[in-house]
Amino acid sequence: MSYKLQFAELLPYWNVLLYGLVFTIVLTIVSTVVGIAVGTAGAAARTFGPGWLGRIVAVYVELIRNTPFIVQLFFIFFGLPALGLKLSETIAAFLAMVINLGAYSTEIIRAGIEAVPKGHIEAGLSLAMSKWEVLRHIVLNQAFRKIYPALSSQIIIVMLGSAVVSQISAEDLTYAANYVASRNFRNFEVYLLVALGYLLLAMLTRSLLRALGRVIFKAR
């Protein structure tokens, strides 16, 4: 190979890349928290809610799970303004992430809820607890413990998928990489560095979530 990799030329842009990194991290954290809240509500609606609500949630889940994230993003950012709903790049990115993770976590949490033995629910009801109290104190706790690994994987998948928000000019890590590449034309070096950055972030997130899981579910 006659070409020489020149990573030194990336140095002047460290602040751009750092900004992108922080953006990606914040985007991931916020959409994880809100997305799982949406997923919990969705799963509760599908398992404990009235039938019509469960069907609406099912349609939402299937629509999101069977279309690419980039199309969802474009639909929100380019399509919704046609209906009079104009969103900034950043808000559109956050919204798309939440909607996406919300659908996946609905399915994951629902599976967890359905894995809780029916007898536990009956025991809770027999203690005069309401459906929602049973859900909150008995079912969700056990469900989350069971699906925590699957949910963790999904969070990392969504984090990596967030690279796509650069396509509507939300200023994440990939956007930063595109910006640097357009300035110094060291495409390969930039993308390699940023890819490794994502890899590190994914590994870090995984260990962090594992440690967090040990703290939350310390019992037993």
Partner 1 sequence: MLQFSFWDILSNLLIATQWTIVLSLIAFFCGGIVGLVLLFMRTSRIAPLEWFTKIYIEFFQGTPLLMQLFLFFFGIALFGVEVSPWMAATLALTFWTSAFLTEIWRGCVEAIPKGQWEASSSLALSYIEQMRYVILPQASRIAVAPTVGFSVQVIKGTALASIIGFVELTKAGTMLNNATFRPFLVYSLVALIYFCLCFPLSWWAKKIEGRLNVAR
Partner 2 sequence: MSLVSIRDVRKSFGPNEVLKGVSLDIAKGDVVAIIGRSGSGKSTLLRCINGLETYQSGSIVADGIEVAGANTNLRELRRHVGMVFQQFNLFPHLTAAENVMLAPTVVNKVSKAEARATAAEVLAKVGLSEKMDAYPSELSGGQQQRVAIARSLAMRPKVLLCDEITSALDPELVNEVLRVVEQLAREGMTLILVTHEMRFARDVGTKLVFMHHGKVHEEGVPKEVFAAPRTPELQQFVGQVG
Residue 214 near which of partner 2, partner 1, none (CB within 5-8 Å, type-dependent): none
Window of 10-18, 127-135, 190-198, 210-218 that interacts with partner 1 by CB under 8 A:
190-198
Q: Which of 31, 65, 43 is nearest to 144 (CA)?
A: 43
CB of 219 to partner 2, least distance (A): 6
Q: Pick one of 1, 11, 215, 219: the residue that binds partner 1 (CB under 8 A).
A: 1
Backbone angles phi, psi at 185, to 5 degrees: 60, 20
How many CA atoms lie less than 13 Å away from 96 in the CB half-sphere?
32
Q: Give whichever of 9 and 133 is closer to partner 2, judged by the CB atom.
A: 133
Q: Give the type of residue at 52.
A: W
Give residues with Cβ within 8 angstroms of 179, minimum separation 6: 13, 16
Cα gap 145→149, rounded to integer Å: 8
Please check whether residue 17 is in contact with residue 166, taking contact to mean a CB–CB distance below 8 angstroms.
no
Residue ranges binding partner 2 (CB under 8 A): 117, 119-120, 122-130, 133, 137-138, 141-142, 145, 217, 219-220
- Tell me which residues touch partner 1 (CB under 8 A): 1-3, 62-63, 65-72, 74-75, 78-83, 156, 160-164, 166-167, 174, 177, 187-188, 191-192, 194-196, 198-199, 202-203
